[in-house]
């Protein structure tokens, strides 16, 4: 869910692309912890 929110806010920002890439790795780990 948080990933979608970040995506929505970063749609209009180009520098957010690299940030999003790094965030995806961290968020994925957090998501795995939440689901499992």
pLDDT tens for 1-36 read 565 555 555 555 555 566 666 677 777 777 766 665
pTM for the whole structure: 0.25
Q: Domain residues of the chain, as ranges?
A: 2-35
Q: Minimal CA–CA distance to 19: which of 3, 30, 35?
A: 3
> Residue 19: what pLDDT?
63
> Residue 3: what pLDDT?
56
> Residue 7: what pLDDT?
58
Q: State how far the Cα of 13 lies from the Cα of 30, in Å rounded to an integer.
A: 24
> Residue 4: what pLDDT?
57
């Amino acid at each position: 869910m948080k990933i979608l929110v970040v995506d929505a806010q970063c749609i209009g920002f180009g520098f957010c692309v690299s940030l999003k890439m790094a965030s995806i790795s961290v968020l994925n780990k957090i998501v795995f912890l939440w689901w499992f």
